[in-house]
């Protein structure tokens, strides 16, 4: 049985904020990665089992930031598998707080062989891994392409999910 | 006099690596931000002077990762101002190691007013700030759109800059 | 009613590891702080409610490291309030994995007044906060003072708690 | 020729601050580690050369925090080798800003053998490494033991070095 979406919940920790009082933008990528790893555990896998010979570096990652997150906010990362090739997975990650979108992004990982003293080399995703994940449609994020409208305010009335 | 590009140099630190032995992908966003702040200092500005009433949160950020970086690597972040609106700046950040591209990304920041007890609100960039930055063309990164070719290998023969 | 000890559970995340394959030592301090904040929430408090005029910087922090932690390890932080003065709290934090001690440390925080444009200034802990926390005895960690014995091996047979 | 002390300079970066507007206390440990690695490079060594079979985990680490650091502060880490055993190094790290002590701490590292699929095991420091470092006296930090006096204020008039 394959999984195509997963919800990961956690709380914003103090170390994740910065001097502007909100979560540092680089942390959204960490949240997305944590959700990915939790999704893998949910199907009985680890992205990096002990002494693994394969790994999953990122090929690309992006986020649009819609609302600020603050210390102790309880957030959801809604992760979806939106693409799969012979060697890569593509995820959509939507971060939700209080029923409203805080950020939406994508992340592509690539399967590599890691051997001591050798450079990382892309390889085909082992079938027992590929079979656990099913592709689903990405969610449409209202106003997401509208950088212009977002430029008007950081607290837009985007209806939550 | 306005600045449109800037080169920021630093070394990869141990804390920035992860268990796969390479720099964690979220750190590339931190490198880009450090370069932005260094560029501002270079024109006599701070993105956040003491008791500032404006701030510069990110509206979006993205990176394509071309090559892994490792502990003690000496890197350059080549930052370019590639867009400017009434309220936002857009940057291109290219990370170079040993004369080869390690990653290329973009980052859009928005000028906001921060007052205690009030939500962040987008405002026009003060003219004395906007005037310091000139728009330049983004660099073309060979193979950058080619996620497909990148999928073939993490160590492609992309000619360095 | 006052609380003197608290157990905080979480999993090691990938970003918290470093190139040696284990959790970076600075993260143990973050784990201890997360436990402190969770303990405060447990008694209905936040160390930093919105627009707070007091804060809790660290006056000192230390850890002895007994065993390495790895990606996806499930850990417990056992936090105890072991000291309380007019202006400070002192905590013991013991990190446990698989029923064995991974690290043991202490952390002293000080109550400060934070006003815009003023330096941090130590103040008396408000009574409604001080009354929520009771002092308990620190746990004895077998072999903890024995830096020498620990020097013999990083995987000593210290009986777990 | 052996080295016993080293000064490492760097600037506080935005990611290193937290919502209280100052540098997160866990980062002082990272600053000390960066100084250690820079000191090793200064004598032609790396704590972790490519494909290294030895590593240097921390056995203990502690800091007393005397003054807050803020975004863009230029700091010095004054690192001293204050102890050396068959398997360990002990460092003192003093962090100085604007000619005044911001923090003072110690850090003990242990030499371990790292082989794939084996637990870390403490080993004797290779002689070609041990010989590069000479023991020096720790600096006395005025007021450092006086947690009590420090409790009075976070901005004491401790004379700078």
Q: Are D22 and D69 in contact (CB under 8 A)?
A: yes
Instruction: Measure D124 CA to nearest chain B CA, in Å.
Output: 23
Smallest CA-to-CA distance from C130 within C88, C91, C80 is with C88
Of all residues in chain D, the percent with pLDDT exceeding 70 is: 88
Residue B57's alpha-carbon distances to A28, A33, A67, B137, in angstroms, are 13, 21, 10, 23
Range in A110-124, B58-72, D126-140 with the lowest mean pLDDT? A110-124
Asked if C63 and D65 come within 8 Å (Cβ–Cβ), the reply is: no
Residue A3 DSSP one-character state = B
Smallest CA-to-CA distance from D144 within D97, D109, D88, D93 is with D93
For helices B26-42 and A26-42, give the axis angle rounded to 10 degrees.
180
**Could you say which of C19, C22, C70 has the minimum Cβ distance to residue B21?**
C19
pLDDT of res. C62: 98
Q: Is residue C115 less than 8 Å (CB to CB) from chain A?
A: no
Of all residues in chain B, the percent with pLDDT exceeding 90 is: 78
Q: How far is Cα C88 from Cα C91, in angstroms, rounded to an integer?
A: 10
* Ramachandran angles phi, psi of B40, nearest 5°: -65, -45
Q: Are A156 and A66 in contact (CB under 8 A)?
A: yes
Report residue D114's pLDDT band, with 50, 70 and 90 as the boundaries.
confident
Asked if A50 and C30 come within 8 Å (Cβ–Cβ), the reply is: no
Asked if B18 and C18 come within 8 Å (Cβ–Cβ), the reply is: yes
Q: What CATH number does the domain located at D5-136 have?
A: 3.10.129.10
**Could you say which of B15, B17, B117 has the minimum Cβ distance to residue C51?**
B117
Q: Mark out the alpha helices in B45-121 (DSSP H runs).
A: none
pLDDT of res. B1: 77
Range in A146-155, B80-89, C63-72 with the lowest mean pLDDT? A146-155
Q: How far is Cα B19 from Cα A52, in angstroms, rounded to an integer?
A: 11
Per-position pLDDT tens, chain C of length 161? 799 999 999 999 999 999 999 999 999 999 999 999 999 999 999 999 877 889 999 999 999 999 999 999 999 999 999 999 999 999 999 999 999 999 999 999 999 998 877 788 999 999 999 999 999 999 988 754 444 444 444 444 333 44
Q: Are A89 and A81 in contact (CB under 8 A)?
A: yes
**Could you say which of B59, B120, B147 has the minimum Cβ distance to residue A59?**
B147
pLDDT of res. B157: 32
Instruction: Measure D123 CA to nearest chain A CA, in Å.
Output: 22
| Average pLDDT over all residues of chain B | 89
Instruction: Measure C23 CA to nearest chain B CA, in Å.
Output: 8
| Average pLDDT score over residue span B114-121 | 80
Asked if D154 and C119 come within 8 Å (Cβ–Cβ), the reply is: yes
Q: Cβ atoms within 10 A of the Cβ of D73, count?
A: 18
pLDDT of res. D118: 77
Q: How far is Cα B47 from Cα B37, in angstroms, rounded to an integer?
A: 6
Q: What CATH number does the domain located at A5-139 have?
A: 3.10.129.10
What predicted TM-score, i.e. pTM, was given to this entire model? 0.92
Q: Is residue A24 less than 8 Å (CB to CB) from chain C?
A: no
| Average pLDDT score over residue span B88-106 | 97
| Average pLDDT score over residue span D23-51 | 96
| Average pLDDT score over residue span A74-103 | 97
**Could you say which of D14, D33, D72 has the minimum Cβ distance to residue B33?**
D14
Report residue B143's pLDDT band, with 50, 70 and 90 as the boundaries.
low
**Could you say which of B19, B147, B154 has the minimum Cβ distance to residue A120?**
B154
Asked if D37 and B70 come within 8 Å (Cβ–Cβ), the reply is: no
Check: CATH 3.10.129.10 for C5-134? yes
- For residue D15, the chain A residues in CB contact (below 8 A) are 18, 24, 26
Q: Is residue B20 less than 8 Å (CB to CB) from chain A?
A: yes
Q: Is residue D37 less than 8 Å (CB to CB) from chain B?
A: yes
Instruction: Give A2-22 pLDDT, tens digit per residue.
Output: 999 999 999 999 999 999 999
Is the pLDDT at B150 greater than 50? The verdict is no
pLDDT of res. A1: 77
Asked if B121 and A29 come within 8 Å (Cβ–Cβ), the reply is: no
Q: How far is Cα B20 from Cα D116, in angstroms, rounded to an integer?
A: 13
Q: Are B124 and B86 in contact (CB under 8 A)?
A: yes
Q: Is residue C100 less than 8 Å (CB to CB) from chain A?
A: no
- Per domain, the residue ranges of chain B are 5-136
Higher pLDDT, C154 or B65: B65
Is the pLDDT at A79 greater than 70? The verdict is yes
pLDDT of res. C141: 84
* Residue for token pair 């600053």: D31
Higher pLDDT, B40 or D158: B40
Q: Is residue A128 less than 8 Å (CB to CB) from chain D?
A: no
CA D118, D123, D129, D134 dihedral sign is positive
Q: How far is Cα B38 from Cα B32, in angstroms, rounded to an integer?
A: 10
Token pair of A108 as six digits: 């592509």
Chain B with chain D: Cβ pairs closer than 8 A: 36
pLDDT of res. A144: 47
ipTM for the assembly: 0.90
Smallest CA-to-CA distance from D6 within D129, D143, D134 is with D134
Q: Is residue D30 less than 8 Å (CB to CB) from chain B?
A: yes
Question: In terms of C-beta distances under 8 Å and separation of at least 24 residues, what long-range contacts does D137-141 make, across chains too?
Answer: D137/D80, D137/D82, D138/D80, D138/D82, D138/D92, D138/D106, D139/D78, D139/D80, D139/D92, D139/D94, D139/D104, D141/D64, D141/D66, D141/D94, D141/D101, D141/D104
pLDDT of res. D1: 77
Asked if A17 and D18 come within 8 Å (Cβ–Cβ), the reply is: yes
* Residue for token pair 């306005």: B2
Q: If contacts are CB pairs under 8 Å, which of residues 59-98 in chain D contact chain B?
A: 70-72
**Could you say which of D14, D30, D47 has the minimum Cβ distance to residue B15?**
D30
């Amino acid at each position: 049985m394959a999984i195509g979406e997963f919800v990961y919940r956690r709380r914003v920790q103090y170390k994740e904020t910065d001097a502007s009082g909100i979560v540092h933008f680089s942390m959204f990528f960490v949240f997305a990665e944590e959700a990915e790893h939790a999704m893998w555990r949910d199907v009985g896998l680890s992205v990096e089992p002990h002494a693994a010979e394969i790994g999953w570096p990122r090929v690309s990652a992006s986020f649009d930031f819609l609302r600020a997150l603050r210390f102790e906010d309880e957030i959801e990362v809604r992760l979806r598998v939106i693409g799969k090739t012979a060697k890569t997975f593509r995820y959509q990650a939507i971060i939700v707080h209080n029923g409203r979108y805080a950020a939406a992004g994508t992340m592509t990982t690539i399967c590599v062989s890691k051997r001591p003293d050798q450079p990382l080399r892309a390889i085909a995703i082992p079938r027992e891994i590929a079979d656990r994940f099913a592709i689903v449609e990405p969610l449409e994020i209202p106003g997401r392409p509208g950088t212009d409208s977002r430029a008007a305010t950081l607290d837009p009335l985007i209806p939550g999910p």
